[in-house]
Structure 1
Amino acid sequence: MPIRLGTQGWNYSAWTGPFYPDGTRPAEYLTTYSRAFGTVEVDSTFYAIPAAKTVRGWASRVGDDFTFALKLPQEITHEQRLRHASDQCAQFFDVARELGAKLGPVLIQLGPDFAPDELPALQEFLPQLPRDIDFAIEFRQRGWIRDDVLALLTEHEVALALVDARWVPRDTMLELAARPTGRIAYLRWMGPNRDIVDYSRIQVDRTHELESWAAVMPMIASRVRTAYGFVNNHFGGHSPEHVRMLQRMLGMPIVKPEALSDQLGLF
């Protein structure tokens, strides 16, 4: 199945011990992470466009089959609200392409105050997106989930991000899984709140939620080129273990923590 699972971010010192082997240095996190999972969502690009040198450094630390999902900068999504942002978009996409074949999808994460009455901005923005990059869009108001918006996304082959969070009911998202709008699928497990601050262990049992998603993921993957899925630490406390839970449910190969320890010793 064309399914790629990973976490939202990799630079967490609390993962050292439960995920990264003891003694792993921060500079080794990404390489070690890439031996366990085949993709990662990069949160830092939401806050600023990275330097091309930084992006090339990411690419150099992972294998050829690894992909990075990037967030479109908040300057475009939250400050410009998708309008008059062609220069910033061009700059961001030029930097993103430094990843080469390791560039995965780009997430257009809209703010919770981006309401359906701003549909004209979306209608103007989507035709400007480059065709050589896959896109997903995340709405944080349920009023966006309607047929004309889904038709617009389908027209421009932009995936509706399927998000397990407080903004849209899970049952609605699970139903939308059968209606892909893009060349790829993009799933995010966020959790209902941000109360969790200890990322070293699972603190909330999310087995039921993950089982619900695992039941539909083969169907999702069969309808798109690749289905990407990313777990946030706030979903239950320790996102690497939740990714492994999904892998087990889907019958995917799992790299065990002890294997990462063995590999670290080779470098």
Structure 2
Amino acid sequence: MEFGRVEQGEIREIDFRLPADGRITRAILPGVPSARPCRFHVGMGKWGRKEWAGPFYQQGTKERDFLTAYAGKLDSIELNATFFSVPGPEDIGKWRQQVQASGNSNFLFFPKVSRTISHIKKLQGCDFLVKMYLEAVAGLGELEGP
């Protein structure tokens, strides 16, 4: 296995079980119940890979339907599109409709902060950009992750 990459034929040979907690971990984390249940979401950083039609998406799935097919299998996505530009309401609405068409009521988008805010402006003098970004991702509504 190459780091971070598994060939399709190797996936069944991998033992995904976690090892038992060590002595120190057991002493530090004695199993105190959480104030609220913890939820885990499984997803990837992209939904639009043509080569996934067949192995991941049903053969013949059109590119325009990739997000719907993706949301039918996984329950979250790291929304990288928001890193490169702030999406308009049309894009947000289209993404929402595609996820809703999948029937997955647990799906969440985890939008990345715009690179203009985080990398170019370095969080300085970007109040207007932050406001634009927050207004845009608020359009995801109940599909916006924490």
Same fold (TM over 0.5): yes
1:86 shift after superposition: 0.7
1:68 and 2:109 aligned? yes
SS of residue matched to 2:73: coil
Q: 2:123 aligns with which of 73, 76, 82?
A: 82
Deviations 1:170-211 (A, max 9, x none): xxxxxxxxxxxxxxxxxxxxxxxxxxxxxxxxxxxxxxxxxx
Aligned to 2:58: 21
2:138 equivalent to 1:97: yes
Q: For this pair of structures, how many residues does the alignment match?
A: 105
Correspondence list, 1:1-267, <5 A: 2-63=39-100, 64-105=105-146
Task: Among all aligned residue pairs of Structure 1 and Structure 2, give the percentage whose two residues are the same amino acid.
Answer: 27
CA distance in 2, matches of 1:13, 1:3: 27
Cα distance in 2, alignment partners of residues 7 and 24 from structure 1: 18
Deviation, structure 1 residue 65: 2.3
Question: Aligned partners of 2:91, 2:81: CA distance in 1, in Å?
Answer: 11
Amino acid at match of 1:70: P
- SS of aligned partner of 2:48: coil
Within 1, Cα distance between the matches of 2:107 and 2:68? 10
Aligned with 1:3: secondary structure?
Answer: coil
Q: Which amino acid aligns with 2:119?
A: H
> C-alpha distance in 2, partners of 1:3/1:44?
22
Distance in 1 between the 2:140 and 2:82 partners? 13
Query: Which one-letter code corresponds to 2:108 in the other structure?
Result: T
Q: For 1:23 and 1:2, locate their aligned partners in 2 and report how far apart those are by CA, in whole Å.
A: 33
Q: Whose Rg is larger?
A: 2
Q: Distance in 1 between the 2:93 and 2:125 partners?
A: 28
Post-superposition offset of 1:8: 0.7
Code of the aligned partner of 2:133: F
* Paired residue type of 1:72: V
The offset of 1:62, in angstroms, is: 1.1
Structure 1 residue 21, shift from structure 2 partner: 1.2
After TM superposition, the score normalised by the length of structure 2 is: 0.69
